Chains A and B, each alone.
Chain A
Amino acid sequence: MMGLSKHKEEQMQHVLSRSLAVLALTVASVTTAGIASSQTATAPGATVEGDTIVFGQTAAQSGPQAPIGASKWGLEAFIASVNANGGVAGKKLRLISYDDGYQPAQTTALDKKLVYEDRVFAIVGSIGSPTTAAVYKALNEEHVPLLSMGSGSPIFYEPGLKYVFPSWPIYTTDGETMGNYVKKHFPGQAAAVIYQDDGFGKPILAGIKKSLGKVDLEIPYVPSQVDFSSAVIKLKSSGIKVVMLATIATSGAQILNQMDSLSYHPTRILTSSACGYGGIFGAIKSLEGTYCTAFLPPPGSSDPQWVEFANAMQKYGQGHPPDIYAAWGWLAGQVAYAGLEKIKGPITRDALVAQLETLRNFDTIAGKINYSPERHEGSCCQLLWQAKGGKWEIVPDSQFNGSAMK
C-alpha cells in the first residue's frame, strides 16, 4: 500500500472488505432484527455518557449513485472543524459512515447496526430517498433522531415524525421552482418532463404540474436505463421546446448528451441532484445555457457560508473537492450542531429534538431553516443557476419560496 494516499488506502480497504461486510451485515441484521422487534420504544444510546457524540450515516460509496455519497466528506470536514474549535457542548464529535450502495435493504441492516451495535446518538446526513424511506419510520419509532437526510421526498415532511428533521427544500418546491420560471419566461412553449419513476422524480413532477397546470409530455425512466434516444426522439418529434429533467446525475448527463447527438437543443432545466458534481462541464459538452435548480450557493461562490465550507474542505476534506454533494454533508453537520449547541444539561435525544424545534430562521449553507414542534420544514427556497462560460451563475428573479411557515 506504500505510495497510496491515506484516503486511497482507506478506500482500498473498504473495497476489499466489502464482501465480508455484506456477510457480516446479514448476520448482524438477523441478530438485531430480534432485538429490534423486542424494542417497543427507545434504542440504546439515548443519552451521551462519554466525551464523544457519535453520529451515524449511510451513504453510497460504490455503485451508480456513489457521486452523491461525497456528502460523507463534507460531514467529516464539518466534524473536524468543530472538533478543532473545541467541540460542542463540551464533547467531541465522531462519525461512523457505512456504504449502503444506495440499496434500501442494505440501509435497513446498516442502520440497525449503527443504532444497536455502534450505539450512535443520531443518524445524520444519510443519503437517498428510497434508502431513507426504508428506515425513517423505524428510527422515528425508536426515538433516534434522523437529521438532514439527503432527500426532499415529501414523506419525510409529514406531521407526526417527531424525530425526523429534513433540511432540504421539499421536492415539490424543486418542481415548482422549475415550473414557475418556465411559466414566467417561456409562456406558451411546449414543455415536457423526464422524471425518475420513484419517490425522487414523482414529487418533482407533481411540483412542476402544480405550478404549470399541465405539461405536454411526461416521460418516466428507471435509473438503470442507459439509452435515452427514444425519449429524446419523442421529445424532438413532439416539438417540445422546454425540457425539465427530474433525474440523477448519470441519467441527466446521458440525456443531455443524447439531445446533442440528435441535434436537438431545447431549453433544459435540470434538478439540483443532477448537477452538483465537479466535472459536470466536462461530462456534458452541451451544458452551456442549461438551467439547474439549487438551494446551495454555486461552487466557487463568494457567499460567506460557501467560503467557510470550501476552506474547511481544503483543510479537512481528505482531498475531496468542495462540490455540492459534499456541501449536503456540511449542511447536515450544521443542523446537528445547531441543536446540540443549545442543549443545557444532559445531552439526550429528546433534548436535541426539543432544541431543534426551537430553530427559527436558522442560517445554514442552504439558507434559512425553520423547525417548530408542529412542523419540521427544512429549507424554504430554491432558485435557478445557469451554465455560463464553464461555471454556474445564479439566475436573477428565479427564487421560489415553497415554505408553509412564511
Chain B
Amino acid sequence: MTQFLLQIALAGLAQGSLFALTALGLVMIYNASSVVNFAHGAMGMAATYVAYVLIARFEVPFALAFAAALVAAFVLGAVVQAVFLARLRNAPLLSQVVVTLGLFMLLEGLMGIAFGYNPRPMRESIAIAPVILGDLVLRPQDVLQLALLLILGVALAAFFAATKVGLGMRAITENTYAARLMGIPVGRLLAIAWGTGVALSAVAAVLAAPTTSVTPNMMDTIVVYGFVAAIVGGFGSMAGALVGGLILGVVVNLIDAFLAPELAMSIVFGLLLLVLYVRPDGLFGRAQVQKV
C-alpha cells in the first residue's frame, strides 16, 4: 500500500508540474497585462506542433525541437500582444479577454486543418528506460518535468527580483501609466511577458505530448487545471501557481485512484470553492486593499 501511495504521489507530482508550468505562464501574463489568456493552452499546443514536425519529418533531436518550440511560442506570444492586444489597450478588458477566446478557437481549428485530429506520437523527452525499485517505477521524464519546473520557478523569481526587465514588469503591474512616465518601454516589456508566458505553456505542452499525443485539443484539460492551480495559489502569485499546481496534481491523482475519476473535475472545482471560501485570495495571494 505504501508503494502504491508513493507511486500515485509521484505520478501526481509529475502531472502537477504540468499544471504548475501552465499556471506560471497564466500568472505571468496576467501580472503584466491584467488579461486572463484563454488561448494559453492552445498557444502552447500550436508551438508543440513545431517540435512534432521537426522530430517526425526532419528527425531533429528532441532537445533541439523542444528549443525551437519554445522560440516559436515566445514569438507567438509576443506577436499576439504586440499586434492584437496592444491595439486594444484602451478597450474594455472584456474585449481583450474575448480576443483570447477567439484565438483559442482559431488556433485549434487551424491546427485541425493542417494536421487533422488523429493523435500524433511525440517521442519521450528522455530516451532512458524507467528505473524499477521493487513495485515502484521512476520515470525519467517525470524527474525531468519536476526539475524543469523547479529550475524555471527559481529563474523566474530571480528574473523578477534582480533584472531590469523583471523590475520593469513589476512596475507595469503596479501602475502602467506611472511606469510609462518613468521611461519604461511598456509595449516591449508586455510583449516579453506574453512571449515568456506562452513559452511556459509550450514547456508544459511539449512535456505532456508523449502521454497525451499531439492533437489540437491536447491542452484543453491541462489548461483548465492550470487555471485552478493559479487560482488556488492566489492568482498573481508565482509561488502560489507552482505550489498550487503540484498540490492539484496529487489531489487529482488521489481522486482518480481512490474516489471516482469521472468526478475528478467536479470534485476539484468543489475543493476550489472551499479553498476560496476559507481564503478568498488563494493560498499565497495577498488581500487586495484599495485606498479610498
Contact = CB atoms under 8 A, between A and B. Distances in A.
A282 B119 CA distance: 9
Interface residues of B, number: 51
Contacts of A236: 135
A123 B208 CA distance: 39
A6 interface: no
Interface in A59-116: 62-67, 69
B213 to A, nearest CB: 5
A237 B252 contact: no
A62 B105 CA distance: 10
A308 to B, nearest CB: 24
Contacts of A250: 119, 212-213, 215, 217
A246 interface: no
Contacts of B187: none
Contacts, number: 134
A254 B262 contact: no
Contact of A64 (B8, B14, B220, B264): B220
A233 B105 contact: no
Contacts of A302: none
Contacts of A226: 208, 211-212, 218, 221-222
Contact of B118 (A19, A222, A231, A279): A279
A278 interface: yes
A283 B213 contact: yes
Contact of B252 (A66, A227, A278): A227
Describe A's contact surface by its main secondary structure.
helix
Contacts of B212: 226, 250, 254
Given A197-B262, A220-B262, A250-B213, A225 B112 contact: no
B120 interface: yes
A249 interface: yes
A8 B110 CA distance: 10
B118 A283 contact: yes
Contacts of B15: 227, 229
A237 B110 contact: no
A295 B147 CA distance: 47
Nearest to B7: A233
B170 interface: no
Interface stretch (B60-68, B253-261, B269-277): B253-261
A229 B130 CA distance: 14
Interface stretch (A10-18, A37-45, A144-152, A344-352): A10-18
A62 B112 contact: yes
A204 to B, nearest CB: 16
Nearest to B130: A263
Contact of A227 (B11, B132, B135): B11
A253 B217 CA distance: 14
Contacts of A234: 4, 257
B206 to A, nearest CB: 14
Contacts of A18: 105, 109
Nearest to B260: A220
Residue from B135, B220, B221, B252 whose CB has the most chain A CB atoms within 10 Å? B221
A285 B119 contact: no
Residue from A65, A67, A229, A283 whose CB has the most chain B CB atoms within 10 Å? A229
Contacts of B159: none
Interface string B85-106: 0000000000000000010011
A250 B118 CA distance: 8
8 contacts: A66-B116, A225-B264, A227-B211, A250-B119, A250-B213, A253-B119, A261-B210, A277-B119
B8 A233 contact: yes
A316 interface: no
Contacts of A283: 118-121, 213
Nearest to A15: B109
Given A62-B109, A229-B15, A67 B117 contact: yes
Contacts of A261: 124, 130, 139, 141, 210-211
